[in-house]
Amino acid sequence: MANPEEQIAAQLLSSKSLPVSAAWLSNFIDSTAHQRNVPLSALTQTALFRILASDFRDSLSTRTPSSLLPVDVLDPTVQERRLQSLIPVQVLDIEDIGASLWSQVEAIERVERGEAIRGREIVRTINVDADPEQNAEYRWESYFCAARNGK
């Protein structure tokens, strides 16, 4: 019977196409060695969770060239390239190009203040777990804002 490292590596490669680094997997097994009687499926899921939360450069194997992007992937003269196999990539940041940076900052601040926008109207949301007096204050603010706007 194969050891747990080989079984976890084979499972992650076949189900998620993740070629796990042997060094990373060995460290993972060593870190979970104190937990006895843990089912292999639970170890595999924990390994998957930790891999997805880690830097792929550390946790995934770079030994097979087919699991890596081509060397000239950043070459702007190449218009199209077909990849021969599944290649895991890690998205580090997503930029919202549909809204200006300032409107994104305003949206974050509205969420922090507990406000939402409904059409052109700013609605103060009430935190259910908050102090009842504070909720009453929010209701009065919303009432007066609506009254000032003629609603």
- pTM greater than the 0.85 cutoff: no
C-alpha–C-alpha distance, residues 81 and 42, integer Å: 38
Condensed to tens digits (0 to 9), the pLDDT of residues 54-108 reads 999 899 998 888 888 888 888 999 988 888 888 899 888 888 888 888 988 888 8
Domain boundary assignment for the chain: 4-65, 97-129
CB 59 within 8 A of CB 20: yes
C-alpha–C-alpha distance, residues 31 and 11, integer Å: 19
Residues 6 or more apart in contact with residue 43 via CB below 8 angstroms: 4, 8, 29, 32
What pLDDT is stored for residue 27 in this prediction? 94
CB 32 within 8 A of CB 43: yes
134 pLDDT exceeds 70? no
